[in-house]
Amino acid sequence: MVHVYNCHPYASQQIVQVEQEPGLVCCGGGALFVVTTGGCKVEAYNLVQEGCPLICRFATMGTVRSIQHSNIGDYLVTIEEKSNATYLRAYTNWRYQNMQHHSHTQPNSSQIPDQTTNQHCSFLDFERSVILHLPGTKPKQVALCAGYVAVQADLEVLVLKLDTNPEAQDLKGESEAPKNDQDEDQADFLLLPRHQELLGERAKDCDVPVSIEKTGLEDRAQTSFSYVLFRRFTPDYFQGCSVEETHLHSLKLHPLFTTGQSSVEEPTCVFCFFSLPTAGYLYSLKGGVELLSAYQYPEKVLQAVLTDHLLHVITKSALQCFTVRCAAVAARFEDPYIDTTMRACPPCSLEVCALRMQLFIGLRSVCAYGRHVILLSTADMETPEETERSTQRRGLMLKEHTMLTGIFLAVGIDPTTTPGLESLLSHPFLSKKWTMSAPKETIPVGHGWNLYVVETVSPLTLYQEMVDYSQHYAQTNLQAQSLWHLLSEAHLLLRASLLQSSQQQHPSNGDPPQSHAETRVAVQTDRQELEEALRENCAQLGDCFSRGSHRHCHLALPYYRMSGLSVSEVLARNRPLPTSPHSYGPGFLFYLKHYLLEETEQHLSQEAADELIDIFSQSEPSQLISACASPIMINVNPARTLQILQHVEDTAGVSVALTITMATMLLRLDNLPQYTQLMERHAEMVLVYGFIEEPRLLLHGGDTHICPTALTQQMVKSQPGLLVAAMVALHENNKVYLEQVDYMFKVLGCENSLQVDFWEAMLMASSQEAVIQELLFRLSSVYIDRLMHTNSDTLLHKHPARRSLKSADDLINSCAHYGALYPWLTVLSPPHTTSSPHLEALHKMQSLLCGPSLSVGSVTPLFESMSEKTLWGFSLHLLCATRRGQYDRSIEQLLDRCPQAIIAYANHHLQDAYMALWWQKLLPELCSRTRAATDNSILLAALKETLVVVATETSPAEFLELVPDDGTASYFLPHLLTCSQRHLLA
């Protein structure tokens, strides 16, 4: 489907004064090249100067059959005939009259240099790099761009991608030619091929063979190819064109560069366009082959030319243009956030539209450069010879029609009673000799020719005309499809213009420096105007989608974001009409809901915030909690909002999140009694679920920049346990990160109290090993810091600090990472020897070292600065040594510092595999220390307990070997007898 809009794309036109009738025309590099009658003279005219004055004129070496301009290198390529030989020539340096032109020719596949250039001027040197053989087709047109090669026959288009392999490989890169089974007797009949479209890798299944011939000039690099696109058409007898008129034309590979790219780089996008007389086709080749648009022409088109902005086509009597989708494809290559809630662009599949046409007489050809469209028209379109051939064709058609009608009547079918059959017989299709003849050559004869240069309007002007035309639809129906379609066309027009302006910021190296600066200033000014127009267009599209009820209403959000409008401005654009005072579009509500979720420093005024509360109370009351929790609503009227929330509760019932929201409003009103009453309505764990439902009741901001709300600050004073439980629940439900909560407690000034309580609670709840190890290290650091910087004497005379939410016993009983304290630790740190906060920190640190999770190696650096002079410090170092399995050293240290704890230590640790240490280490140490000590009562008691264990675990012979040589027999004899008796019983 093609939409038709009455927007005029053409601004003005002028006639180029040419002495002789033009035969061929092309343009490029700001110039118009005209091959005059006879085909042996080329004239160049300046397109960018008023009046298109003649720049230069030169004679060719043969009759020009085709002429093209190359932007890269700024040279002309011609196909010329002379003395029954065909030449391919390239003309360079045509702009400078004081320099000779340079060309390379190629008669019959051999290269002959023609003339040399001025030694101070660079020139192009051509060599055959790749030779492609296509024996199964007869090319009519060829196009080359960015490694893509497109070949067009009468009814076929084949696109290949050439690739260069740096390593030498034997790549044949060819396909077999199809076998021609057509019988010679059928030469007079037309065999119609079937319609076929093959995209991407499937294109290799076409029956067009291609092979590469090596030229010997490739060095080590080898060239291979891959099939990209194949399209074959079958003549349609019901399209108003005869078979001989049904052939492809206007083949073009069109590159498109995105922002920051120059024309010497590989283009971001490459498009392929070709056309039939009644339909045109535009494909995107890079990033997956896709048919973007199919153009249905209202009448037979003779030629078409594709540009970044528009597709220009000519019929016999009119110039018309259609919109293109190239910018939509380029936008998706350039911006990864397209088609998200951040940014949007009209889809590539958007139906095209035709703009107002301009009438001419006898159009023959068209070409374009920039904003200039060049037309060649001739009043006499048919020569006497063609008139005679037409008469012969009509006679042949009548003969065939009579013959076929007789055949149908002979079998009892009257074609006149069947309109479709009668229409079929009205088209010639049996004689192949004339139906498949090549399209007639345009012979420059006759009179009444004109060469027009038509200037298109500037993109901004055409954009404004589209916007003005769209108001016609807006006045009748704000949800009309034509409204957003035309605004989308204007959007793509501006995007294409912005891409083009980014290319213009790279002036040619041949221009003087002054023109560089002037060009950049002009381009920058144009670009600012285009960007401002794009923002305006995005606002219009946002309005269109915000009011619409169709399935694309969510697009209001990205378009409003791209427009740069504030929330207040969007509110003003979406106020309901007087006829429907309570009606808001789904797209507008979608925009508001997502905007409320954004973390921004912008705050709405009280008037705008109250209006937003009214909108949701009327349209979606379920969103009121989210609206009240949003940081941009900080200025909302709390008393008025509380009344609305109370009405919602009366209507929909009590909910936890609604209760907390109402309590927040009471807190803003400094009504603490009613606030407390509401917060006590539900149990703490139930309130936690409310915070999970809406975390912004506690926190605003993102990343590490977290801002606690007034409710959070109040809970620090009145309900710290609920705050910690809520933070743990939010973390476990992936609502906040550990660093965010740390930052919040730092802002609240609770980094050494509630933050530690949070870590301890997290250690109880978390199941992530990485989080567990991080928390163990943090808590160990805190406990050690508290132990090393706590002055017991000072603390006894001061007010006690806030107690932790969880005591050491609570953690030991409820958290598996805290282990029960070893019995011998109570001997080293009796409760009456230290203050309560100090003792809590000591027991928690000892419990972590007694638990199964803490890695001793990770906390060893924390103990390096801790002295062993105090018993609590000695106990922690001893725990670390014991955890590392250093029992020998631990026994010696414990006998030195606190021998009364040695038996409890041995009973707990010297078991199973370490049982032998009782007699191998502990017994010898006790014997020697008892003998040397003056007051050895503690050591003797420990020695007796040790001998009991040794007598139980060893044989009499082993026991005798352990007895010291100078020992007292009466002291060891009872234990020896006990050992013997146990041994006999065993």
Q: Is the pLDDT of residue 44 over 70?
A: yes
Burial class (CB in 10 A: 0-12, 13-18, 19+), 424: middle
Maximum Cα–Cα distance across the chain: 149
Q: Who has greater pLDDT, 198 or 19?
A: 198
- Distance, in Å, from the CA atom of 450 to the CA atom of 378, rounded to the nearest integer, reads 7
Single-letter residue type at 544: C
Percent of the chain residues topping a pLDDT of 90:
36
pLDDT above 80 for 263: no
Q: Dihedral sign, CA of 110, 114, 117, 123?
A: negative
Residue 66 CB neighbours (<10 A): 13
Give the pLDDT of residue 796.
39
Element (H, E) at 717: helix 710-718
The structure tokens listed for 978 are: 């006990």
pLDDT of residue 515: 53
Q: How confident is the model over 226-253, as a mean pLDDT?
A: 79
Which residues, in sequence order, are CB contacts of 909 under 8 Å at separation 6+? 882, 887
More confident residue, 832 or 232: 232
Per-residue HEC secondary structure of 364-385 comes to EEEEEECCEEEEEEECCCCCHH
Q: What digits encode the pLDDT tens for the residues 117-162?
A: 434 445 566 666 778 888 878 888 899 888 899 999 988 999 999 8
- Residue 461 predicted with pLDDT over 80: yes
CA dist 742 → 58, 705, 775 (Å)? 80, 10, 12
Q: How many CA atoms lie within 13 A of 346 on its CB side?
A: 27
pLDDT tens digits along 625-671: 999 999 999 999 999 999 999 999 999 899 999 999 999 999 999 99
pTM (predicted TM-score): 0.77
More confident residue, 192 or 322: 322
pLDDT at 644: 95
pLDDT of 460 over the 70 cut: yes
DSSP classification of residue 102:
B
CA atoms of 587 and 552, how far apart (whole Å): 8
Q: Residue 256 in 3-state DSSP?
A: strand
The answer to whether 230 touches 208, Cβ cutoff 8 Å, is: yes
Tell me, what DSSP letter sits at residue 919? Answer: I
Query: What single DSSP character describes residue 797?
Result: T
Confidence label for 523 from pLDDT (cuts 50, 70 and 90): low
Distance, CA of 769 to CA of 766 (rounded, Å) = 8
What is the distance, to the nearest Å, from the Cα of residue 68 to the centroid of all Cα atoms in its chain? 39
CB-based contacts of 321, cutoff 8 Å, min separation 6? 9, 310, 311, 312, 313, 354, 355, 456
Report for 37-41, 93-97, 308-312, 946-950: range of highest mean pLDDT: 308-312
Average pLDDT over residues 74-90: 85
| DSSP letter for each residue of 73-89 | TTEEEEEEEETTEEEEE
Tokens 């508001």, residue located: 592
User: Which residues pair with residue 149 across a beta bridge?
Assistant: 144, 160
DSSP secondary structure of 376-440: EEES----HHHHHHHHHHHHHHHHHHHHHHHHHHHTT--GGG-HHHHHHHTS--S-HHHHTPPPP
DSSP 282-326: EEE-TTS-EEEEEEE-SS---EEEE-SSEEEEE-SSEEEEEE--H
**Residue 353 carries which DSSP code?**
E
Going by their DSSP bridges, the two strands 211-213 and 249-256 should be labelled as unpaired
Residue from 358, 376, 357 nearest 368 by CA? 376
Query: Residue 611 has which token pair?
Result: 């209006």
CA–CA dist 68, 879 (Å, integer): 89
Q: What's the sign of the alpha-carbon dihedral 184, 189, 194, 195?
A: positive
Euclidean distance between CA atoms 137 and 31, whole angstroms: 34
Distance CA 456, CA 469 (A): 18
Q: Is the pLDDT of residue 489 over 50?
A: yes
Give SS3 for 551: coil
The backbone torsions φ and ψ at residue 326, rounded to the nearest 5 degrees and listed phi first, read: -65, -40
d(CA 582, CA 70): 61
* Residue range 953-964, pLDDT digits in tens: 888 888 777 777
Identity of residue 108: N
Cβ atoms 602, 632 nearer than 8 A? yes
Helix (H), strand (E) at residue 493: helix 481-504
Task: Give 156's strand partners.
Answer: 232
Residue 503: which residues within 8 A CB-CB, separation 6 or more? 257, 261, 262, 263
Q: Which of 217, 216, 198, 219 is nearest to 207 (CA)?
A: 198
Give the per-residue pLDDT at 181: 47
62 neighbors 80 (Cβ within 8 angstroms)? yes
- On whether the CB atoms of residues 487 and 470 are closer than 8 A, the answer is yes
Average pLDDT over residues 739-763: 91
For the beta carbon of residue 554, count every other beta carbon within 10 angstroms: 15
Q: Render pLDDT for 153-192 as a digit per residue (tens, 0 to 9).
A: 988 999 999 887 765 444 445 555 444 444 445 455 556 6
From residue 44, how far is each of 27, 61, 69, 534, 660 by CA, in Å? 9, 17, 12, 37, 80
Q: Rounded to whole angstroms, how far apart are CA atoms 211 and 221?
A: 17
Q: What is the pLDDT of residues 375-431, one digit of tens each?
A: 988 876 555 455 555 555 555 556 666 666 766 666 566 666 665 565 555 555 444
Output the CA–CA distances (angstroms, integers) from residue 800 to 389, 782, 795, 797, 837, in the order listed: 115, 18, 7, 9, 8
Using a pLDDT cut of 70, give the percent of the chain over it: 78
Residue 102 has pLDDT above 80, yes or no: no
pLDDT score for 674 = 95
Q: Which two three-digit tokens encode residue 184?
A: 């010679």
> What's the one-letter identity of residue 148?
Y
Mean pLDDT of the 867-872 span: 86
Q: How far apart are CA 783 and CA 788, in angstroms?
A: 9
For residues 109 and 170, what is the distance between their CA atoms, to the nearest angstrom?
25
